[in-house]
């Protein structure tokens, strides 16, 4: 049974149940976020070992390194983003707990496969399978919260979820750097099995399908909608990534692009007519849902591009080891942990508009500070202050943003609503990362890093404008 929110003081049993739900939601999401970030500082070591074993040595080695690094990140994000809508629908149909459990087991297995991969092709395939499993985790975990907490309690819970999952995302580079410098990059993937097992153990305290969103309705999967969504998201993104590498005239770039765009059009057409649509288009009639998702595009495109680039610059330009590259992001982790719950609570009380406007601007200021980077790079002065500002802006922004997107969504549709928002954030990040080579000029130099920083700041400023204009007249997130 769903634990109800109430304006009266909840019982001790209800409070215990809520704490378990929040812990499970945080741990399950953290697994996906941790894996998405922990790999960033391992990319140079992965490229040195796996590309060095192949035929890409010599003049083409640097290009092969960049391609492998992009695909180790993008294969995961491509699968995660393209299947997020399907996973959210499955969560609403078959139950959050059941889908979470399946996703966690699959994630553990695919993490081991990635750790054991003997060559680039198999590593990229394992990363794609990890993305499939991760797609089952995030929307289900957030739907647990929205179907358990209401009102101000929901704002606090989402703030806590944001803080702790953000910590997992941001502590990943530190953990990954320590592993790379001590026992090797393969443990970057294997270590994720530990939080998976802990989450599965904690889930034994939850009833099997307590948070099923279908309210007793017969299970139904919109198979046609699911297939169209997956192809529609995967095709264009694949074409964008490969088109930069081999040219946009190649048939295996043009074909996925055309098929994917046609599938997206077919998805919208089908969802208007399907008797039980996977993604009810009525969700977008709500101002908060639509504006929140538009703001998500700029915020997460910027965050993915920025957080991927900083560890690479610290290692490849400043010459610091992977462990120190991970430590550079630690201030962001601390600030996010300290303040995300606070700003989630304040947004629930005062409305999300000021936080979603000011937060991205603070984050943009943090990145713009890094325009001070010059040779020789002084990380303490040129990068660390910007990282602190970046963390503060992140804490101000993310919890109010998530609360806004889900604030007017019925509990029975919270899984698909969360999935829409997460799919948008993942695809935005994936497209941004795919453009890294173009923005940086083909190689990561100081000038290339400056160009990346300017693009990141512009994306964040656009998100702030969307929130300021679009949320006019919106007062409270819940």
Q: Which helix (H) or strand (E) holds 37?
A: helix 12-38
pLDDT value for 139: 78
Handedness of CA 130, 136, 139, 143 (dihedral sign): negative
pLDDT value for 172: 75
168: in domain: yes
> Can you give the pLDDT of all 478 residues of the chain as single tens digits?
344 444 455 666 566 777 888 888 888 888 877 777 778 778 888 888 887 654 444 444 455 566 777 788 878 877 887 788 788 878 777 888 888 899 999 999 999 999 999 888 899 999 999 999 988 887 788 778 877 777 667 777 777 777 777 667 667 777 787 888 888 889 989 888 988 999 999 888 876 554 444 444 455 677 888 889 889 888 887 887 777 677 778 888 899 999 999 999 999 999 888 887 878 888 888 888 999 999 999 999 998 888 888 888 888 888 888 777 777 877 877 887 788 778 878 887 888 899 999 999 999 999 999 999 888 888 889 999 999 999 899 889 988 888 888 777 776 777 778 778 877 887 788 778 778 877 887 677 888 899 999 999 999 999 999 999 998 755 554 4
Residues 97 and 36 in one domain: yes
Residues 327 and 432 in one domain: yes
380, 331 contact by CB (below 8 A): no
Q: Which residues contact 180 (CB under 8 A, 6 or more apart)?
A: 41, 42, 45, 188, 322, 323
pLDDT value for 58: 44
Residues 77 and 151 in one domain: yes
Number of domains within the chain = 2
214: in domain: no
pLDDT value for 169: 66
Distance CA 32, CA 29 (A): 5
Distance CA 37, CA 168 (A): 8
pLDDT value for 203: 87
* pTM (predicted TM-score): 0.73
Residues 372 and 262 in one domain: no
pLDDT value for 357: 94
Residues 264 and 169 in one domain: no
Quickly count: other Cβ atoms within 10 Å of residue 95's Cβ: 23
Domain that holds residue 252: 223-277
165: in domain: yes
131: in domain: yes
Residues 190 and 170 in one domain: yes
Residues 409 and 344 in one domain: yes
Would you give the distance in Å from CA 65 to the centre of its chain? 24
In sequence order, what DSSP letters do the residues of 375-406 get, joined into one string? SSP-HHHHTHHHHHHHHHHHHHHHHHHHHHHH
pLDDT value for 477: 46
pLDDT value for 474: 55
Residues 230 and 291 in one domain: no
List the Cα angle 114/120/122 in 5-degree steps.
50
* Lookup result for tokens 């995967």: 234
213: in domain: no
- The HSE-up count of residue 320 (CA atoms within 13 Å, CB side) is 22
Residues 271 and 385 in one domain: no
Residues 197 and 234 in one domain: no
Structure tokens at 329: 């992001």
Residues 429 and 338 in one domain: yes
351: in domain: yes
Q: What is the largest CA-CA distance in the chain?
A: 69
CATH number at 53 reads 1.20.1250.20
């Amino acid at each position: 049974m769903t634990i109800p929110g109430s304006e009266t003081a909840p019982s001790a049993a209800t409070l215990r149940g809520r704490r378990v739900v929040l812990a499970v939601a945080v741990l399950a999401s953290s697994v996906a976020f941790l894996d998405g970030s922990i790999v960033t500082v391992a990319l140079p070591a992965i490229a040195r070992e796996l590309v060095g074993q192949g035929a890409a040595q010599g003049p083409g080695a640097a290009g092969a390194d960049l391609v492998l690094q992009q695909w180790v990140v993008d294969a995961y994000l491509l699968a995660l983003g393209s299947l997020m809508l399907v996973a959210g629908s499955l969560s609403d149909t078959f139950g959050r707990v059941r889908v979470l459990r399946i996703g966690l087991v699959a994630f553990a297995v695919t993490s081991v496969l990635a750790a054991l991969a003997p060559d680039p092709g198999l590593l990229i395939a394992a990363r794609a399978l990890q993305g499939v499993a991760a797609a089952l985790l995030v929307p289900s975990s957030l739907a647990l919260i929205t179907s358990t907490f209401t009102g101000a309690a929901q704002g606090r819970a989402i703030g806590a979820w944001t803080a702790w999952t953000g910590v997992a995302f941001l502590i990943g580079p530190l953990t990954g750097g320590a592993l790379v410098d001590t026992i090797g990059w393969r443990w970057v993937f294997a270590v994720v099995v530990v939080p998976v097992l802990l989450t599965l153990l904690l889930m034994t305290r939850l009833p099997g399908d307590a948070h099923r969103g279908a309210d007793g309705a017969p299970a139904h999967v919109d198979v046609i909608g699911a297939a169209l969504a997956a192809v529609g998201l995967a095709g264009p993104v694949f074409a964008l990534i490969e088109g930069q590498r081999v040219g946009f005239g190649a048939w295996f770039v043009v074909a996925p692009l055309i098929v994917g765009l046609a599938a997206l059009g077919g998805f919208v057409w089908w969802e208007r007519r399907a008797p039980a649509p996977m993604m009810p288009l009525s969700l977008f009639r709500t101002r908060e849902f639509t504006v929140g998702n538009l703001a998500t595009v700029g915020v997460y495109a910027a965050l993915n591009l920025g957080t991927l680039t900083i560890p690479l610059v610290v290692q490849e330009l400043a010459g610091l080891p992977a462990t120190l590259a991970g430590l550079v992001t630690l201030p962001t982790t601390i600030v996010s942990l300290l303040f995300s719950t606070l700003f989630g609570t304040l947004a629930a009380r005062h409305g999300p508009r000021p936080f979603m406007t000011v937060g991205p601007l603070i984050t943009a200021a943090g990145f713009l500070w890094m325009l001070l980077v010059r040779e020789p790079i002084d990380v303490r002065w040129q990068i660390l202050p910007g990282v602190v500002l970046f963390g503060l802006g992140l804490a101000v922004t993310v919890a109010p943003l998530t609360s806004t997107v889900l604030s007017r969504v019925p509990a029975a549709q919270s899984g698909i609503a969360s999935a829409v928002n997460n799919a948008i954030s993942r695809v935005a990040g994936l497209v941004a990362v795919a453009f890294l080579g173009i923005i940086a000029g083909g190689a990561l130099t100081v000038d290339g890093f400056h160009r990346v920083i300017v693009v990141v700041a512009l994306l964040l400023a656009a998100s702030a404008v969307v929130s300021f204009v679009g949320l006019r007249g919106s007062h409270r997130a819940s």
